[in-house]
Structure 1
Amino acid sequence: MTDTGRLETFADGVFAIAITLLVLGIRIPDAHEGLAPALANQWPSFFAYVVSFLTIGIMWVQHHRLFTVIGRSNPTFAMINVVFLMFIAFVPFPTQVLAQRVFVDRQGWLLATFLYGGTMVAIAILFNAIWAYAAARNGHLLREKVAIAVREVGARGYRFGPPLYGLITLLALVHPVVSLIGFAAFAAYWALPISGVLTGGDQTG
């Protein structure tokens, strides 16, 4: 067993780089273009940027909260986090693809939505895997004296992420714009105040 310091530092770096790369999907207008129409035409890029920035930011907050009660690591746990971070680093790509396909062609827009949604489903599944592995075997990676209630609430709080992201993605079959609205609304899901329990690491189990 090792402490989580290096893993947390690595995760913070990946989150910071991924969230910064999102802005590269917004094109700087040429000097000869009218600025107002050039910016207005890029509204899908601005929209996708905001949604993905908030999503990555909130996931970083939740990842940080997990480590207020996770005190140890091992190679398996580290690898789960590495795969999770691989998908976090991938987010700028489907974000830009989706922004470029909005209202361009229906089939391409649908495929881009599935690419974006599939990425979010994978991230949500891996986030659950991080918590599930840490809390398994009577909380073998959790800090000492973490209450049983913390483990139970953590599991309940995060398990709805994958199916809900999957449902939002499938709503693109109705119309891709429905999924866009769903992704924007669901970004708030990751900000649910379950941290009040997760930070209660001084409770006895």
Structure 2
Amino acid sequence: MEKNRLEAFSDGVLAIIITIMVLELKIPESGDGHFSALLPLVPKFLSYILSFIYVGIYWNNHHHMLQCCKVVNGKVLWANLHLLFWLSLFPFTTAWVGENHTSAAPLALYGFVLFMAAIAWVILLNCLIHANDRSGLLAKAVENKTLKEQASPFIYIAGIASAFFIPWLSIAFYALSAIIWLVPDKRIEKALKEAKPE
């Protein structure tokens, strides 16, 4: 099967996720028209920014990863849906953290969803490698694990654990993971560049 429909569907779902998240930012109830009316929205806006960055990271890396592939199969389609399931929970967890940014349960759930999305990403990556040539472009590009790949699960786990003791530290761990993933996977960009004919 060709990958075009998978890419189009994934792009559409991610666009809807971002739309739902921004719709959670309600207009201030105060009618005085002063900027001070926006202050209660700051935690919601910050949680939206963080989640927007995460969705952007997944979209960016999803695009890069699929550039290395020619075909998909049933396993890939299900693995992709599995990833989209966890990403589709971002609006809920983002809104809950925005409303209760110092509470353990929302922060822990936010981290759990991030952790599960990362697991789903690895599953999708492996399914794509198996669906395409195992000695192909994608397999070669990701054969050597990076430090950020190895560190990310532990950062999420640390964020989940610290949610129950030091809420601000939990947020810092989630922000740290987003920061280290802002730059798309250079291994894939390098592999794509080397594969292009001169």
TM bucket, shorter chain:
0.7 to 0.9
**CA-to-aligned-CA distance 1:31-89 (integer Å, 9 cap, x gap):** 53553222011110011011000111111101111101122111111001011111111
| Correspondences of 1:15-94 after superposition (within 5 Å) | 15-33=14-32, 35-94=34-93
Structure 1 residue 150, shift from structure 2 partner: 1.1
For these two proteins, the number of residue pairs brought into alignment is: 194
Distance of 1:82 and 1:12 partners within structure 2: 12
Please name the residue that 2:128 is paired with.
134
Question: For the Cα contact (< 8 Å) 1:168–1:179, is it kept in 2?
Answer: yes
Structure 1 residue 156, shift from structure 2 partner: 6.9
Q: Which amino acid aligns with 2:129?
A: A
Distance of 1:201 and 1:159 partners within structure 2: 25
Following TM superposition, the consecutive aligned residue runs of length 4 or more in structure 1 with deviations greater than 4 angstroms are: 142-145, 154-157
SS of the aligned residue for 1:152 comes to coil
Please name the residue that 2:177 is paired with.
186
Structure 1 residue 173, shift from structure 2 partner: 2.9
* Runs (5+) with no aligned partner, structure 2: none
- Normalised by the size of structure 1, how large is the TM-score? 0.84
SS of the aligned residue for 1:161 comes to helix
Distance of 1:160 and 1:15 partners within structure 2: 25
Identity %: 25
* Runs (5+) with no aligned partner, structure 1: 104-108
Question: For the Cα contact (< 8 Å) 2:105–2:163, is it kept in 1?
Answer: no
Question: For the Cα contact (< 8 Å) 1:66–1:198, is it kept in 2?
Answer: no
Please name the residue that 1:171 is paired with.
162
SS of the aligned residue for 1:178 comes to helix
Q: Which amino acid aligns with 2:116?
A: A
